[in-house]
Chains A and B, each alone.
Chain A
Amino acid sequence: MAKVLLVEDDQFLQKMYQKKFQISGFEVEIAKDGEEGLSKMKALKPDIVLMDIMMPKLNGIDATAAAKSDETTRNIPIIILTNLSSTEDAQTAVKKGAVDFMVKSNFTPAQVVEKVKQVLASGK
């Protein structure tokens, strides 16, 4: 059973994605900001991370950069899942090492699950 770490500060979205991933057969861990996300990545060793950008304490882009510069978390794939829609944000995130970039409002939870499955299947 694959383990997904959802780094998300909005509690409604936490609940929603958690539910969808659980139904789809994933083990789901939640972090409510970038800092917690980083520490949970180290502690729980998730198979994949869904990272929001606008969060308190540490934003998703900096968190991604930090994760990619740490030996223990470097190989965990990170998908940016945000509601910031500018291409600049997407490019910055991909430059820092994210495998993909999704604008939340454009996708249903089912589509997000599909994307995660795709990334895991491609072995990244």
Chain B
Amino acid sequence: MIKLNLRLLLIFLEIAIIPVALISYLALFNTKSAITTQVLNQLDQLAAITKNRVRSANVQNLELLSDVINSASGGRPISEFKSLIDPESDIRSISITDVGGKVTSSTDPEKVGRNFGSEEFFLKARVSRRATTFLQGKNRELLIVVSGPITRDGELIGVAIVEKNGASFLSIFNENVGLGTSGEILLVARDRNGGSVYITPSKFDQLGPLSRSTPKDDFSQAATQALLGREQTFDSSIDYRQEKVLASTRYIEEADLGVIAKIDQKEAYLSIAKLSGLLTIVSLVSVSVIALISLSAATSIVAPIKKLINMTNKISGGDFSHRAVVESRDEIGQLELSFNIMAMKLKRSYEGLEQKVRERTKELEVSTRNLEIANANLKNLDKLKDEFVSIASHELRTPMTAIKGMVSMIVDGDYGKVEKGLHEPLADIANSTDRLIVLVNELLNVSRIEAGRLKFELSDFAIQPVIGEVVTSLIPLAKGKNLYLDFKYDGLTFVQGDTNKIREVLSNLIGNSLKFTERGGITISLEEDGDLLKVFVQDTGIGISSEDQVKLFGKFKQISSYQVGRPAGSGLGLYISRELTRKMGGDLWIQKSEPQQGSTFVFSLPLATSELAKRLREVVKQQSQEVQL
């Protein structure tokens, strides 16, 4: 959570800083490009001027050579040029060789008789028949050699050679006006390998001239570009120190020389660095000023809000008498006013509320007490009802036991011989009494199930012997109706449940089937399904229509077809059986039944090893603990 005044401050700063940054960037960018253009123009002019100077110097040399050649071809002696050679002049010597390169005459007597036959300036003049300028280094000094062929009637008769000191030629390059401390103008020639070699001395490399070379494929160097014939400006080139420079190049074709005017980027852009520093300071100052103004603005907005927060805190703490001091008529002032009104209303309604709460609490206490009494009465009633059902069923059973027992004894002949005509009514009495007993038992069961007082003794046991017992006990009944009662199994399946309850369910299902089957019989089978074991009771009896199936599991529900001339039960059996299986974690349902096609009832029980069984055991354990409590 950022506090409101900090958030306002940040917003103001964003608004202020973005234009400042933008303007600074644009100013710097424009200045830089303007400076670049200006410096490059200046360099370009210097390069162009220098090129012209070099060319005119060369033209002078070539003119002198031309004079010498004309004189020599006219057969005049070389001595007529002797006057040109004096300590003030650059000209060192003028010589003439024969066709083989041997010096035949010279202004320098020492040179006469020497052979220049293998020198480049001689060979070039002889072979190409053209006047050529050579720049040579000797003892770290520049020597300019101009040579040209002497012909008579189109036939080569010798070579003229003029040697000049390079010192005054080099002075062309000393005029680094307007090039600052790092700027300079350089002359480069082609070396033997096709690369470039510096002729002029440079500020940063006194030993460089005539010895330092740049490979011909190093195109990042302005020297290489110049010798490629490029006459242009470079805003980002590098020089022999690998330093970034602004540069302009020129190429002098007739002498195969390159001119470079250059200045370090650092120096050229020095003013920009200064400007950027200045802009930074201006930006920082303006940002700080804006920050201060923003802070005070944020504070002036937030302060009344803080006051309101304090006030609401006091009100929420229960002090309704607190009021805000309204200082302005703006939105905040209106807010303060509304707060005061709200606090006033709150105070009033709170006072009313406290009174109401007291009254309601009293009412609530009374009704709670009444409820407690009613609840206790209800619990008592429930217990009484349970006891009543239990005792009533006991008391009902006693006379029924007497009726049932005595009728059976009469039938057995214990009271003397029974007349034939009495057998049927006696059997009917026995039957009706049995039904009454079943009814009483089931009523008691329903009452217990619904009160949750039925106790289950869960244990793991094999189901097959239990089914076997029930089947065996019912076989006499089946035989009496000429029905088969089949239960075939191999192996044992362990389930979890209350054996007595399971016997009850089985007896009920098989009993029902026996009751409603006249032909065929009943088959019992088993099937495992996940956590459950399913027990199928299939008969060939009258079947049940789908409408009646819905009613079947209701309490006291007997379906219509049962009631016509059929032995009828209490109608509670299936309800109880299903409740019992459900309480043990299984269920009971009709698998299939159609009128006249027989019925299949199924109930399921959890397998002893299943997770379901484990959970049930825990639930039953908890419930029994609750009952004990």
**B120 → chain A closest CB, angstroms:** 134
Chain B nearest Cβ from A81, distance in angstroms: 10
Q: How far is B526's CA from A118's CA once the two chains are assembled, in angstroms? A: 34
Judge whether B387 is part of the interface by a CB distance below 8 angstroms. no
Q: Contact at A110–B408, with CB atoms within 8 Å? A: yes
Scan A50-82; emit 1 where CB is below 8 A from any B CB, else 0. Answer: 000010000000000000000000000000000
User: How far does the alpha carbon of A19 sit from the alpha carbon of B412 in the complex, in Å?
Assistant: 12
Task: Name the interface size band of chain B.
Answer: 20 to 34
Interface residues of chain B: helix, strand, loop or mixed (majority): helix
- Distance (Å) between the CB of B410 and the closest chain A CB? 11
Do A13 and B405 contact each other (CB < 8 Å), given the known contacts A23-B414, A85-B444? yes
Mark contacts of B456-481 with chain A using CB atoms, 8 A cut-off: 1 yes-contact digit, 0 otherwise: 01000000000000000000000000
Take A20-B409, A85-B393, A87-B500 as given contacts and tell me if A108 and B457 are in contact as well, using a CB distance cutoff of 8 Å.
no
User: B414 near A108 (CB under 8 angstroms)?
Assistant: no
Tell me whether B437 is interfacial, beta carbon within 8 Å.
Answer: yes
Point out the residue from B394, B409, B457 that lies within 8 Å of A83, measured CB to CB: B394
B401 near A13 with CB under 8 A, answer yes
A87 touches B457 (CB 8 A): yes
CA distance A93 to B390 in the complex (A): 18
Q: Is B398 an interface residue (CB 8 A)?
A: yes
Return B392 CB to nearest CB of chain A, in Å. 11
Cβ of A87 and Cβ of B455 under 8 Å apart?
A: yes
Could you tell me if A13 and B398 are in contact, using CB atoms closer than 8 angstroms? yes
Q: How far is the CA of A71 from the CA of B394 in the complex (A)?
A: 33
Q: Which of B400, B414, B500 contacts A20 (CB 8 A)?
A: B414
Give the distance to chain A from B584, nearest Cβ to Cβ, in Å: 14
Q: Count chain A CB atoms within 10 A of each CB in B393, B399, B409, B412 and give the residue with the most.
A: B409
Residues of B within 8 A of A19 (CB): 409, 414
Q: Enumerate chain B residues within 8 angstroms of A54, measured Cβ to Cβ.
A: 394
Which of A23, A84, A88, A108 is close to B405, meaning CB atoms less than 8 Å apart? A108
Q: Are B404 and A105 in contact (CB under 8 A)?
A: yes
Residue contact A108 to B441, C-beta cutoff 8 Å: no
Q: Is A32 positioned at the interface, with any CB of B under 8 Å from its CB?
A: no
Report the separation of the CA atoms of residues A98 and B404 in the bound assembly, to the nearest whole angstrom: 25
Give the shortest distance, in Å, between B479 (CB) and chain A (any CB).
Answer: 18
> Please, how many angstroms separate the alpha-carbon atoms of A61 and B571 in the complex?
34
Chain B 414-428, CB-CB to A under 8 Å as 1, else 0, gives 100000000000000
- A108–B454 Cα gap in the complex (Å)? 27
Assess whether A104 is interfacial by the CB under 8 Å rule.
Answer: yes
Cβ 8 A contact of A88, one of B437, B444, B455: B455
Bound-state CA distance A88–B455 (Å) is: 8
Question: Shortest beta-carbon distance, B360 to chain A, in Å?
Answer: 47
User: Which residues from A are CB-within-8-Å of B393?
Assistant: 83, 85
Answer yes or no: A114 CB below 8 A from chain B CBs.
Answer: no
Q: Which residues of A have CB within 8 Å of B400? A: 105
What's the nearest-Cβ distance from chain B to residue A3, in Å?
A: 20
Q: Is the CB of A13 within 8 A of B412?
A: no
| Residue with the highest number of chain B CB atoms closer than 10 Å, among A87, A105, A109 | A105
Q: Is B156 an interface residue (CB 8 A)?
A: no
Given A23-B414, A87-B500, do A10 and B402 touch, yes or no (CB 8 Å)?
yes
A16 and B397: CB pair below 8 A?
Answer: no
Among A17, A83, A86, which residue has its beta carbon within 8 angstroms of that of B397?
A83
Q: Is B406 an interface residue (CB 8 A)?
A: yes
Interface set, chain A 8-50, CB cutoff 8 A to B = 10, 12-13, 16-17, 19-20, 23
Nearest B residue to A52, CB-CB: B398
Complex Cα distance, B436 from A106, in Å, reads 11
Enumerate chain B residues within 8 angstroms of A85, measured Cβ to Cβ: 393, 397, 441, 444
Residues B399 and A12 in contact, CB atoms below 8 Å apart: yes
Partner of B437, one of A12, A16, A84, A106: A106
Pairwise interchain contact B409-A104, C-beta atoms closer than 8 A: no
B-side contacts of A17, CB under 8 Å: 405
CB-CB nearest in chain B for A90 = B500
Contact B412 A110 (CB under 8 A): yes
Task: Give CA–CA (A92, B418) in the complex, Å.
Answer: 42
Contacts A85-B393, A85-B441 given; indicate if A104 touches B401 (C-beta within 8 A): yes
Q: Is the CB of A109 within 8 A of B408?
A: yes
Q: What's the nearest-Cβ distance from chain B to residue A83, in Å? A: 4
Q: Known contacts being A19-B409, A105-B437, A110-B412, is A84 close to B394, with CB within 8 Å?
A: yes
Query: Least Cβ distance of B385 to chain A in Å?
Result: 16
- Per-residue B-contact encoding for A94-124, CB less than 8 Å = 1, 0 else: 0000000001111011100000000000000
Within 8 A of A (CB), among B438-455: 440-441, 444, 455
A98 to B410, CA, bound (A): 30
**A-chain residues with CB within 8 Å of residue B437 when the two chains form the complex:** 105-106
Asked if A83 and B398 make an inter-chain contact with CB atoms under 8 angstroms apart, the answer reads yes
Name the residue of chain A whose CB is nearest to the CB of B400. A105
A34 to chain B, nearest CB (A): 16
Q: Which residue of B lies closest to A24 (CB)?
A: B414
Given contacts A23-B414, A88-B455, contact A108 B398 (CB under 8 A): no
Chain A contacts for B406, CB-based, 8 A: 16
Residues of A within 8 A of B399 (CB): 12
Contacts of B414 in A (CB 8 A): 19-20, 23
How far apart sit A86 and B397, CA to CA, in the bound complex (Å)? Answer: 13
Which residues of chain A have C-beta atoms less than 8 A from B390's C-beta?
84, 86
Point out which of B393, B394, B405, B500 has the most chain A C-beta atoms below 10 A from its C-beta.
B405
CA distance A106 to B405 in the complex (A): 10
Complex Cα spacing A67 to B560, Å = 54
In the complex, residue of chain A having the shortest beta-carbon distance to the beta carbon of B453 = A86
A114 to B440, CA, bound (A): 25
13 contacts between A and B (CB under 8 A): A13-B398, A16-B402, A16-B405, A23-B414, A54-B394, A83-B397, A84-B394, A87-B457, A88-B455, A104-B397, A108-B409, A109-B409, A110-B408
Binding site for B on A (CB under 8 A): 10, 12-13, 16-17, 19-20, 23, 54, 83-88, 103-106, 108-110
Given contacts A88-B455, A110-B412, 6 further A-B contacts (CB under 8 A): A10-B402, A16-B405, A23-B414, A85-B393, A104-B401, A105-B401
